Structure 1
Amino acid sequence: MINRLLIKDSIAFNEVVINPSKGFNVFSGVSGSGKSVLMESILALFGLRDANASLIEASFGHSSINLEDIGIFDNDDLVLSIVKKDKTKYFINNQVFSKKRAKDLFGNYVKYISSHSINELSNENLLKILDSSIKEDEFRILLDSYNNDYKSFIKYKAELERLEDEEKNIIELREFTMFEISQIELVNPKIGEYDELMQVKKDLSKKEKILEKISSLKPIINGMAELINFLNSIDKNKEIFEETLNDIEVIIQQEEEKLESINEDDIENILNRLELLSNIIHKYGSIEGSLEYLAKKKIDLEHYNNISFNKASIQKELDYISKSIYTKAEQIREWREKYLESFIKSLENYCKKLMLNTPRLKLEKIDLGNNGYDLLEIMLGNSNTFSSGEFNRLKLAILCLEIDYSKQSGILILDEIDANLSGSESEGVAQVLALLSRDYQIFAISHQSHMPCFATNHYLIQKSNNGSKITLLDKEGRIQEIARMISGANITSEAISFAREKLQHL
C-alpha cells in the first residue's frame, strides 16, 4: 500500500503530501478543486496515465509486488518517482525505469475503474474470472495446454496464409528470381577482378610511353657498362655499380615482359568487362554484395520450387493442431458450464448488495479464439442494455468476484463510480467498497455522502490562493463536509444530524 504520496507543481497542487491509510480513502470537494488531478497523478505512478506534475513520488512496502523480477532485491520500502522536466523520467528505488515497464509490473496489483472503462465487462475478462473460479489442477493444465496450442495454431495459420499468397504469384516470382540469378551468373564476377582489370587498363594507356622511356635509357645503361669496365681497368671497386646496373636491368626486363604480355587487341574486351562489372557494383554495392545476393536468390528459388511441399507440410501441422484445440475448447466449455452456476450465485450476492437486478449469464458459441469458442453473455433481469449507474455497479460486482477468486491484495482506484446513483444505490456501493478495503487500499472520488460515511480516511480537497490543498478531516470536519455534500453551501441542521448519525461509529 502507499504510505506517503508527494506531488509538486501540478496544474492543481503547488506541493501536497498525504499519508493515506491502509483501507478506504475517500476524497471530496467542490467541482474543479483538483480531485481528478490527484487521481491522474496516482495513476501516472503505475504507468496508467501521463505525468501531470514536475514530481510525483510514492513510497510503500513491497506487499505482493515481486521486485526481484526487475533486479531490485533490497528490503526497504519501495519508492516510485516520476520527474518531469524537459523529459519525463521514471524511477523505482532510484533505478531508471520506463512507463511501459511500470505498467507491466503493477498491472495485476493496481485496479482502476472509472465511469468510462469497459474492460471489466469484456468477454475476455468475464471468462478469465470464471476460469479463475475453477481451482481444479486438471482444468489449469488443460487451459495452459490450450493456450500453447492456440499460439501454435495462429503461427501455422499465418504461415499457411503467407504461402498461399506467394503461391498466387509463384510463377511470376520464380521467373523474376531466375532472371536475377541469370544476370549475375552471366557476368560471373570474381572478387578483386575489377581492380585487376582497372590496373591492366592503366598499364595499357601507359605502354607506349614506358617503352619509349626504356629505349631512351639503353644508351645510359651501355654507358654504365663502359664505366664498370673503366673501373675494372684501374682496379677500383666496381661492385656497387654492378649491383645497381643488374637491378635496373632486371626491372626493365620485367616491365618489358609485362607490357609485351598485354595485347592491345584485348582492350575492347577489357573495357566491355569493366562496364559489366561496373554495372554489377552500381546495382549491388560491390562484387561481394552481388555474390551474397546471388546466394540469397538461389535460396529463394529453392523455396519457390518447394512451396507446394512446404504448404502441404504446414497444412498437415495445422490440421493436427486444429483437431487438438477444438477438442480442448470443447473440454474447457464443459468445465465452464459445470462451474457457471456457482459463479452466477456469487455474482448475485454482490448484485443484491449493489441493488442491481438479478444477473443472468449464458455461454454462447462463437468463432475459435484465445478463450476457446465461448462468449459469456451477461444480463440484468431480462435486459442486456444498462444505464450508466447499472454499468458502474456491475463492473464493481465483477471486480469483487475477481478479487474473491484471486485472493490477492493491492490498490484500487475509483473515479466517481457512484455518479448518477440514487442514495440507496450509492450506499450499496460504499458498503461493498468498505468490504473490499479489507484487502485493497482504496482511493475514491465521490460527490455523494455515503462513501465518506464508510471511509477509513476522508480527505477534503479545496482551492486556495497557493493552489489546491488536501486536508485529512477529523470527525467534526467529516460531519461538516458530509453535510455540505447533502445540502450544498447552505448547510442545514437536518444534514448535520444525518452526518452525525452516520459517523457515530467513529
Structure 2
Amino acid sequence: MLVTLAIRNLAVVEAVDVHFYSGFHVLTGETGAGKSIIIDALGLLAGGRGSADLIRYDCDKAEIEGLFELGQGHPVWDALVRMGIEGNHDEHLVIRREITATGKSTSRINGQLVNLTMLREVGELLVNIHGQHEHQNLLKPDRHLHLLDTYGEHIIGSIKQQYKEKYSAFAKVEKELRELQSSSQKAYQMLDLYRFQLEEISSAQLKLEEDEWLGEERVKLSSSEKMMDSVSGSYNILHGSSGLSSISSAISGLKDVTGFDEKGLKPILDQLQTAFFQLEDVTFQLRDYRENIEFNPERLEEIEQRLDIILTLKRKYGDSIEQILSYYENIKQESDLLEHKDERLEELQKQRDGMLASLLQSAHELSEARRQCSADLAEQVEGELKDLQMGRTSLQVKLDLLEDPRGYDVAGHKVRLTKQGIDNVEFMISPNPGEPLRPLGKIASGGELSRIMLALKSIFARHDRIPVLIFDEVDTGVSGRAAQSIAEKLFKLSDSCQVFSITHLPQVACMADHQYLIEKNITNGRTMTRVESLSEQGRVEELARMLGGVEITEKTLHHAQEMLKLAEARKAVR
C-alpha cells in the first residue's frame, strides 16, 4: 500500500506530507480546492507525463516522493531485478520524481536513477488511476477486447501469446513473399545492373588500404629525381673535405692541447667526438638511402592508372575501399536472391502455407478461449451491477468474428487476421427488462457508466495484484441509493487493495475508513492547498458541509453524525 506521499511546489501545493493507511480513503473539499492535484502527483510517480506547467509559480522545481509498503512476493520486485535496480527487495519501495522549470524530469526508485519507461513499468504494477476519461474509453468497442483478455488472462494469456508470436512470424514471411511477387520486372532490371557492378568491382581485385600505400609510393616515385639531388648533395657535403674531414682535424687539434687543461677542454672534446660519430652514421645512412632511390616511370604510370580505377569505384560505390567491398557483398546477396527468385518464391509459399495452417488453428483456439470467458465475465459483471442498484440490467459480451470475404477460412467462416486475433468484442446492455440488448455507448448514462466501470474494476481487482486503486469522482452522475451502493462497493473493494476516491457525495465519504480534507487558503498573497487528515469530529463537520453547503446547522451536523453511525453499522456486517 501507499504509506506516505510528499509533495513540494506542485501547482498550488507548496508543501504537503500525507500519511495513508490500509482500507478505503476519501478526499473531499470544495470544487477547485486541489483534490485532483493529489491524483496528479500519484500519476507522476507512476510514470505519467510531466511538464514545467505543473511547477508552482516562482519555483525552480516540483518534487514528489512516495513510500510504498509491499509484500515480498509482489511482482514489482521481479521487475526491479530485471531492470538492475539494486537494494533489499523485501518490503519498502521509495519512488521520487523531480520536474525542473526547464521541463527536465528526474526519477529515482530506491535512490537509483531510472528512465521514464522503467518508472512507468513499475508504476503500472503499483497504481491504477481511474478518471473520467476511462468512462469515454468504455464506450469504445476496441477497448472491450482488451478488457475481456485482461479478465480471462489465466485462460487466454498463453494462447494469445502463442498466437501473436505465430502472427508476427507469418506476417514477416508474407511481406517478403508479396515483395518478391510484386517486383518481377524491376527485379530483372536490377539483376542486370547488379551483374555489371559485381563484374566491375570483382575485376578490380581491391585490397583493403591499397589506395593509401599506393598513394605513398606514388609520392616517392614522382619525387625521385628531386630526392636524388638533395640526398646526394647532403652526402657530398658531409663526406667531403669540408665535412667529416674538417671535424676530424678539429678533434686531433684539441687532443694535442687537452692535457694542458683537461678540466676545461675534455668535455668539449667529448661533445665534438660524439657529434662526429653521429654525423658519420648519418653520412653512411644517406649513402645507403641514395643507392635505393628508384627511378621507375613505368611503375609510376601503373600506380596512376590503378589509383584512377579505385577513384572511379569510390565515386560509384563508396568513400573507401572498405565501403566498396561492403557494397559488393550486399549486392552479391541481392543478386543471389534474384538469381534464385523462383526457387525462393516456391520455398516462401510452402513456408507461408505451413505457418498459415498453424496460425489459423491458434486463432480458432484464441477465439474459443475468449468465448468461454465472455459468458463468465458477463455473469460476474451482472452480479456486481446488482450490488450497485442495476439488478435489472442485462449485459452480454458479444463476440463476433472479423468476417472478410477475401479472408481466411476458420471453422467455415472467412475471417480477417489481426495482431489481436479474429474477434470483435463489444459490450451490449439492456438497462430494463424487455428491452433489446444494444451497444453500451448508445444506452448507458453517465451514472450507469460509472457503475459499470466500478463493477469491472471490482472484478479485475480480484485478478491482478495492484495495491493502490484510485477513483477520480467515479460517483459522477449518481445519487440516492445508487450513490450508497457505490460507496459500499468501494468499501468492499478495499478488502483486496488500498482504495482512494475523490468524491462530492456524503454517502460515499461516510463509508470511508479515512477522510482527508483538501482546502485552499491564501497566505501572504499566495494561494496554497493543504491536506488535513480529519478526526471523527472533523468528519462530522465536513459531512455537514457536504450536506448543507456553506451554512452548517445543528440539523446538518446531526444528520452527518447519523450517516457516520449508519455507515459504521454497514461496515461492521461487511
Q: TM-score, normalised by structure 1?
A: 0.83
Map of 2:427 onto structure 1:
378
String of CA shifts for 1:141-180, please: whole Å, max 9, x gaps: 6455434333333333344345445556323433333343
Map of 1:365 onto structure 2:
401
Moved more, 44-53 or 467-476: 44-53
CA 1:377–1:218: 2 relative to 1, 3 Å: closer
CA 1:223–1:340: 2 relative to 1, 3 Å: closer
SS at structure 2 position matched to 1:392 = helix
Match of 2:349 among 299, 309, 315: 315
Moved more, 123-132 or 425-434: 123-132
Map of 1:70 onto structure 2:
80
SS at structure 2 position matched to 1:465 = strand
String of CA shifts for 1:456-490, please: whole Å, max 9, x gaps: 11111111124111111222222222222233223
Map of 2:6 onto structure 1:
6
Q: How does 1:325-364 map to 2 (within 5 A)?
A: 325-356=359-390, 357-364=393-400
SS at structure 1 position matched to 2:500 = strand
Structure 2 distance, partners of 1:252, 1:185, is 39
1:249: Cα distance to partner? 6.9
String of CA shifts for 1:356-395, please: whole Å, max 9, x gaps: 4321232111133344322222122033223333223222
Structure 2 distance, partners of 1:59, 1:449, is 29
Q: TM-score, normalised by structure 2?
A: 0.74
1:203: Cα distance to partner? 4.5
String of CA shifts for 1:327-357, please: whole Å, max 9, x gaps: 2332333344344433322111112222343
CA 1:253–1:468: 2 relative to 1, 3 Å: closer
- The answer to whether structure 1 residue 21 and structure 2 residue 21 are counterparts is yes
1:437: Cα distance to partner? 0.8
Map of 2:272 onto structure 1:
none
Moved more, 114-123 or 293-302: 114-123
1:57: Cα distance to partner? 1.0
- The answer to whether structure 1 residue 88 and structure 2 residue 105 are counterparts is yes
Structure 2 distance, partners of 1:15, 1:436, is 31
1:100: Cα distance to partner? 1.5
Map of 1:387 onto structure 2:
445
Structure 1 distance, partners of 2:373, 2:230, is 104
- The answer to whether structure 1 residue 426 and structure 2 residue 483 are counterparts is yes
Map of 1:79 onto structure 2:
94
Structure 2 distance, partners of 1:108, 1:279, is 60
CA 1:307–1:412: 2 relative to 1, 3 Å: farther
Q: How many residues align?
A: 483
Q: How does 1:225-244 map to 2 (within 5 A)?
A: none
Map of 1:274 onto structure 2:
307
1:263: Cα distance to partner? 3.6
8 Å CA contact retained: 2:475, 2:503? yes
Q: How does 1:31-50 map to 2 (within 5 A)?
A: 31-50=31-50
Q: How does 1:198-213 map to 2 (within 5 A)?
A: 198-199=215-216, 201-209=218-226
1:97: Cα distance to partner? 1.6
Map of 2:163 onto structure 1:
146
Moved more, 490-499 or 70-79: 490-499
Structure 1 distance, partners of 2:372, 2:37, is 45
- The answer to whether structure 1 residue 442 and structure 2 residue 499 are counterparts is yes
Structure 2 distance, partners of 1:145, 1:317, is 18
CA 1:420–1:202: 2 relative to 1, 3 Å: same
String of CA shifts for 1:289-326, please: whole Å, max 9, x gaps: 32232222212222232344334333322222221232
Q: How does 1:92-491 map to 2 (within 5 A)?
A: 92-117=109-134, 118=136, 122-132=143-153, 134=155, 142-164=159-181, 167=184, 169-199=186-216, 201-209=218-226, 252-255=290-293, 258-259=294-295, 262-263=296-297, 270-281=303-314, 284-356=318-390, 357-366=393-402, 367-381=416-430, 382-384=437-439, 385=442, 386-404=444-462, 406=463, 408-466=465-523, 467-491=528-552
Structure 2 distance, partners of 1:217, 1:477, is 106
CA 1:300–1:422: 2 relative to 1, 3 Å: same
Structure 2 distance, partners of 1:491, 1:244, is 111
Structure 2 distance, partners of 1:439, 1:360, is 26
Does 1 or 2 have the higher relative contact order (CA < 8 Å, sep 6+)? Answer: 1
Moved more, 270-279 or 392-401: 270-279
1:30: Cα distance to partner? 1.1
CA 1:243–1:316: 2 relative to 1, 3 Å: closer
1:411: Cα distance to partner? 0.8
- Stretches of structure 1 that go unaligned for 5 or more consecutive residues are 229-239
SS at structure 1 position matched to 2:13 = coil
Structure 1 distance, partners of 2:560, 2:145, is 42
CA 1:200–1:391: 2 relative to 1, 3 Å: same
Q: Kindly provide the amino acid, as one letter, of the partner of residue 498 in structure 2.
A: Q
SS at structure 2 position matched to 1:293 = helix
CA 1:164–1:127: 2 relative to 1, 3 Å: farther
Structure 2 distance, partners of 1:15, 1:244, is 82
- The answer to whether structure 1 residue 57 and structure 2 residue 65 are counterparts is yes
1:223: Cα distance to partner? 9.1
RMSD of equivalent CA atoms: 3.6
- Stretches of structure 2 that go unaligned for 5 or more consecutive residues are 56-61, 82-86, 246-276, 403-415, 431-436, 569-574
SS at structure 2 position matched to 1:464 = strand
Structure 1 distance, partners of 2:419, 2:237, is 94
Moved more, 13-22 or 335-344: 335-344
1:45: Cα distance to partner? 0.9
8 Å CA contact retained: 2:66, 2:96? yes
Structure 2 distance, partners of 1:168, 1:495, is 86
8 Å CA contact retained: 1:12, 1:33? no
1:113: Cα distance to partner? 1.2
Q: Kindly provide the amino acid, as one letter, of the partner of residue 359 in structure 1.
A: L
Q: Kindly provide the amino acid, as one letter, of the partner of residue 438 in structure 2.
A: S
Structure 2 distance, partners of 1:189, 1:92, is 55
8 Å CA contact retained: 1:2, 1:58? yes
SS at structure 1 position matched to 2:505 = coil
Q: Kindly provide the amino acid, as one letter, of the partner of residue 456 in structure 1.
A: D
String of CA shifts for 1:177-228, please: whole Å, max 9, x gaps: 334334433544334543454455445544555677899999999999xxx9
1:252: Cα distance to partner? 4.9
Sequence identity (%): 25
8 Å CA contact retained: 1:409, 1:439? no
Structure 2 distance, partners of 1:342, 1:215, is 103
Q: Kindly provide the amino acid, as one letter, of the partner of residue 67 in structure 1.
A: W
SS at structure 1 position matched to 2:171 = helix
CA 1:478–1:293: 2 relative to 1, 3 Å: same
Moved more, 341-350 or 450-459: 341-350
String of CA shifts for 1:88-138, please: whole Å, max 9, x gaps: 21111111122211221232442221111255661332321442475xxxx
CA 1:26–1:157: 2 relative to 1, 3 Å: farther
